[in-house]
């Protein structure tokens, strides 16, 4: 299965495409997606600690705009969003 991760805020620096895409096993969880992202950062950004901190402190949101927990299971090709620490106004 393929999962697309839409990038927002500071995580936009992870890619020029504003999107990351990973192959994942069926029933992978958000926890597994975090690991995939950390691995991607190790390979592409020499393990940039600031970037990794963003992944570890972010929430995730489903395609239908609900926040999802680390136990949320991916059961189909899906697009989710990473929600880094916020600060508008």
Partner 1 sequence: MLHAKIIDTKEKKLSIIEAENFISSHDYGASIFFTGTVRNQNDNKSVIGITYDSHDTLVTNSFQEIYNEADQKLNIKDKSVYIEHAKGYLNLGEISIIIAVACKHRDQAYVLSRYIIEEIKKRAPIWKKEHYQNNDSAWLKGNPIINEKN
Residues making contact with partner 1 (CB under 8 A)? 8-10, 12-13, 34, 53, 56-59, 61, 65, 67, 70, 81, 83-89
**Of the candidates 62, 83, 84, the residue with the CA atom closest to the CA atom of residue 3:** 62
**Nearest distance in Å: CB 53, partner 1:** 8
Of the pair 26, 65, the CB lying nearest partner 1 is at 65
Question: How many C-beta atoms lie closer than 10 Å to residue 66's C-beta?
Answer: 9
Of the pair 11, 74, the CB lying nearest partner 1 is at 11
Q: How far is CA 25 from the centre of its chain?
A: 15
**Nearest distance in Å: CB 44, partner 1:** 18
Give the whole-angstrom CA distance, residue 44 versus residue 11. Answer: 14
């Amino acid at each position: 299965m393929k999962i697309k991760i839409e990038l927002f805020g500071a995580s936009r620096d992870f890619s020029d495409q504003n999107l990351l895409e990973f192959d994942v096993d069926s029933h992978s969880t958000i926890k597994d997606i975090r690991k995939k992202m950390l691995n991607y950062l190790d390979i592409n950004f020499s393990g940039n600690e600031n970037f990794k901190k963003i992944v570890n402190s972010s929430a995730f949101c489903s395609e239908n705009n609900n926040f999802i927990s680390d136990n949320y299971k991916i059961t189909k090709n899906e697009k989710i969003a990473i929600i880094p620490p916020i600060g508008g106004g």
